[in-house]
């Protein structure tokens, strides 16, 4: 029963042309990034001081940067970083969000109050500045970036899961299960959680888009991935210096970020439309 529901949702989502487009975009970006070591024409860190800031050409499809490194190769390798950070950060935030949201929604009372006030406190701090502040105390590295983004963006998921749990715990099948003597853990993990999974997936997909942007922003500010490792954000920073002259350094990473974020958003929106009975009945 469960499987067929998921399958039908997926089917519905993928018949939505926008969601399909998003799906195709993300899959292609993933394939390109994963194949980077094989398809990148050059070593991304191969410096050539004799070929600084060359415009795109047959040799360098996306030109070269301020140290003569091939931008296409850096874009492909940088893509791995951007995508990895997006996925892991959202994994962390979703895990925290599910845990706290489940506790709040299931136990209610003071547990709920405590967790939801914590959410309010976290939400009242502008998250980008919170992340900047935390990174300032840590060494900037991919791992820290992933952890910090994850630890500062779980609040939406918490609210979502809590709301789902609040409505689900009133449903007959939960009451029935409880009456039959099911333990809390069993109720949460076998009944409540699987039934709230779909909105969580939608929020996670949309969250990846946010995390990709966040990583790019941090790397752009020099607080993310450190040299010489490439990420779309730090290629963009290098390009900023020469934007009137070396347009290729800003355009390509900018486009990559745009397309990836667009892809995640389209897929997320498509999934939401597919899952939300009201919006589908409108169509």
Partner 1 sequence: MIENQLHHIKIIIAASLIALLTACHDSNIGGETKEKLNENYANESGGTLISAMTGEPSGLISMIAGESASSAISSNIFNSLLKYNKNLDLEGDLVEGWQISDDQKTITFTLKPNLKWADNQPITSADVLFTWQAVTDEKTASPYASDFQLVKKAETPDPRTFKVTYDQAYAPALDSWAGLQILPKHLLAGQDLHTTAFARNPVGSHYYKLDGWAHGEYLKLSRNPNSVLGQAKIDKLITRIIPDNSAQFLELMADNIDTMGLDPIKYSRIIPARPELQQKLGLYKELGNSYTYMGFNLKHKPFDDVRVRQAINYAIDKQEIIDGVYLGLGINIASPYKPGTRWSNPNLSPYPYNPAKAHELLKQAGFTDTNGDGILERDGKPFAFEIVTNQNKEREKSAVLIQRRLKEVGIDVKIRAIEWASFISRFIKTGDFDVVVLGWGLGLDPDQYNIWHSSQQAPGQFNFIGYHNPKVDKLLEAGRLELNPDKRMKIYHEFAQVLLEDSPIVYLSAGYGLTAIHKRVKGIDNPAPPAGIGHNSQDWYIPTPLRRNEMAAN
Q: Nearer to partner 1 by C-beta: 56 or 68? A: 68
Least distance between partner 1 and beta carbon 246 (Å): 9
CB of 42 to partner 1, least distance (A): 14
CB atoms within 10 A of CB 191: 19
Sole residue written with tokens 């850096």: 74
Q: Would the CA dihedral through 198, 200, 203, 205 be positive or negative?
A: negative
Query: In the complex with partner 1, which residue's Cβ is closer, 30 or 128?
Result: 128
CB closer to partner 1, 66 vs 91: 66
> Shortest distance, CB of residue 240 to partner 1, whole angstroms?
5
**Do 250 and 240 contact (CB within 8 A), yes or no?**
yes
Nearer to partner 1, 117 or 240 (CB): 240
Q: Which two tokens stand for residue 177?
A: 């299960």
Q: Are 157 and 101 in contact (CB under 8 A)?
A: yes
Q: How far is the CB of 253 from partner 1 (least distance, A)?
A: 16
Residues forming the site for partner 1 (CB under 8 A): 45, 47, 49-50, 52-53, 66-68, 136, 139-140, 222, 226-228, 240-245
Name the residue among 133, 135, 116 with its Cα closest to residue 125.
133
Q: How far apart are CA 90 and CA 93, in angstroms?
A: 5
Residue 31 vs 243, nearer CB to partner 1? 243
Q: Cβ closer to partner 1: 173 or 245?
A: 245
Query: How far apart are CB 225 and partner 1 at their closest, in Å?
Result: 11
Contact 65, 249 (CB under 8 A): yes
Classify residue 64 by its DSSP letter: B
Q: Look at phi and psi of residue 175 and say left if phi exceeds 0, alpha if psi is from -120 to 50, else beta.
A: alpha
Q: How far is the CB of 70 from partner 1 (least distance, A)?
A: 15
């Amino acid at each position: 029963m469960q499987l067929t529901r998921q399958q039908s949702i997926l089917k519905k989502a993928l018949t939505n042309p926008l969601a399909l487009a998003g799906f195709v975009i993300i899959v292609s970006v993933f394939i390109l990034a994963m194949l980077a070591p094989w398809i990148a024409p050059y070593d991304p860190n191969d410096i050539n001081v004799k070929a600084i800031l060359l415009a795109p050409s047959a040799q360098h499809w996306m030109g070269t940067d301020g140290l003569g490194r091939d931008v296409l190769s850096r874009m492909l390798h940088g893509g791995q970083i951007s995508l990895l950070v997006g996925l892991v950060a959202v994994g962390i935030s979703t895990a925290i969000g599910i845990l706290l949201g489940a506790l709040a929604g299931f136990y209610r009372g003071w547990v709920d109050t405590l967790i939801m006030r914590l959410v309010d406190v976290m939400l009242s701090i502008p998250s980008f500045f919170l992340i900047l502040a935390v990174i300032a105390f840590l060494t900037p590295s991919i791992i820290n970036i992933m952890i910090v983004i994850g630890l500062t963006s779980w609040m939406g998921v918490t609210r979502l899961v809590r709301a789902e749990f609040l409505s689900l715990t009133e449903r007959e099948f939960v009451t029935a299960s409880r009456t039959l003597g099911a333990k809390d853990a069993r109720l949460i993990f076998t009944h409540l959680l699987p039934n709230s999974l779909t909105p969580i997936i939608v929020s996670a997909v949309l969250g990846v888009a946010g995390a990709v942007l966040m990583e790019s922003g941090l790397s752009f500010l020099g607080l993310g991935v450190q040299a010489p490792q490439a990420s779309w954000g730090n290629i963009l920073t290098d390009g900023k210096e020469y934007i009137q002259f070396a347009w290729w350094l800003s355009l390509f990473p900018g486009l990559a970020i745009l397309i990836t974020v667009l892809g995640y958003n389209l897929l997320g929106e498509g999934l939401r439309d597919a899952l939300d009975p009201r919006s589908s009945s409108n169509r």
